[in-house]
């Protein structure tokens, strides 16, 4: 099994070539990615200011993996509490998982139901640890105001995730235009970049700032 901590150490290892440290960050994302792999990586390119050319700021990789590590530690603590709770429930005969299921166990668990799979550019601007704290608080029964993903208090609108509908603010997802045929259609992202371009950070400059679109 891939070890998050092993690859986190490789991201920090300045003796390794930058492309290997970058690949180690990607492996960390396969272990934990609150917004989904693509959207979480895009988020980290912005929050850690990862430049298009890694040589321009090698420390950006360390900043990115540490933000991811901080959020993962919060998730692991909450997940371990859930495991202990389930064991106790099973001992008294309660085998069914309560509804709603924990956010990390839901189908398409990245974001509210996989909301950022189709468009990795549409995700909260929250630091990953803040997003995890927010999701944990909602799981504990708190009725937080605003968008369930980011807390923005703009009007919520229905959004198709491919696994159903969720209500998000316009900042986190596009509001779909109803189709006369009554079918859900694949979301076409506003920005033309695919995963290859996101991975190569086409959207970033060498100064670690987003490239104007």
pLDDT tens for the 213 residues of the chain, in order: 469 999 999 999 999 999 999 999 999 999 999 998 999 999 999 999 999 999 999 999 999 999 999 999 999 999 898 888 778 878 887 777 766 677 777 654 445 546 687 778 888 989 999 999 999 998 888 888 889 889 998 888 777 665 566 788 878 876 555 556 665 555 555 666 788 999 999 999 999 899 876
Q: Which tokens belong to 213?
A: 């679109």
DSSP string covering 22-39: HHHHHHHHHH--TT-HHH
Instruction: Note whether residue 207 is domain-resident.
Output: no
Question: Do the Cβ atoms of 210 and 193 come closer than 8 Å?
Answer: no
Instruction: Note whether residue 205 is domain-resident.
Output: no
Instruction: Note whether residue 165 is domain-resident.
Output: yes
Question: Do the Cβ atoms of 164 and 107 come closer than 8 Å?
Answer: no
Instruction: Note whether residue 209 is domain-resident.
Output: no
Look at the chain and report how many structural domains it folds into: 1
For 193, what's the count of Cα atoms within 13 Å in the CB-facing half-sphere? 19
Instruction: Note whether residue 71 is domain-resident.
Output: yes
Instruction: Note whether residue 35 is domain-resident.
Output: yes
Residue-number span of the structural domain to which 70 is assigned: 4-199
pTM for this model (two decimals): 0.85
Rounded to the nearest 5 percent, the helix, strand and coil shares of the chain are 40, 5, 55
Peptide bond connecting 206 to the previous residue in cis, omega within 30 degrees of 0:
no
Local structure of residue 163 (DSSP, 8 states):
S
Instruction: Note whether residue 108 is domain-resident.
Output: yes
Give the Cα separation of 154 and 171 in Å (integer).
9
Instruction: Note whether residue 191 is domain-resident.
Output: yes
């Amino acid at each position: 099994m891939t070890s998050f901590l092993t690859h986190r150490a490789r991201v920090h290892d300045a003796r390794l070539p930058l492309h290997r440290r970058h690949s180690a960050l990607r492996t960390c994302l396969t272990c934990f990615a609150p917004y989904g792999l693509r959207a979480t990586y895009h988020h980290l390119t912005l929050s850690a200011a990862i430049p298009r050319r890694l040589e321009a700021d090698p420390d950006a990789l360390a900043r990115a993996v540490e933000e991811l590590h901080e959020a993962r530690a919060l998730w692991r603590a909450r997940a371990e509490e859930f495991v202990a709770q389930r064991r106790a429930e099973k001992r008294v005969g309660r085998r069914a998982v309560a509804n709603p299921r924990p956010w990390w166990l839901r189908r398409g668990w990245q974001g509210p139901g996989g909301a950022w799979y189709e468009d990795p550019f549409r995700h909260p601007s929250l630091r990953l640890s803040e997003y995890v704290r927010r999701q944990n608080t909602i799981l504990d029964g708190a009725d937080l105001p605003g968008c369930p993903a980011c807390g923005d208090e703009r009007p919520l609108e229905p959004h198709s995730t491919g696994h159903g509908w969720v209500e998000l603010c316009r900042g986190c997802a596009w509001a779909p235009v109803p189709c006369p045929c009554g079918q859900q259609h694949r979301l076409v992202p506003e920005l033309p970049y695919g995963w290859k371009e996101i991975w190569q950070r086409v959207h970033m400059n060498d100064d670690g700032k987003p490239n104007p679109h």
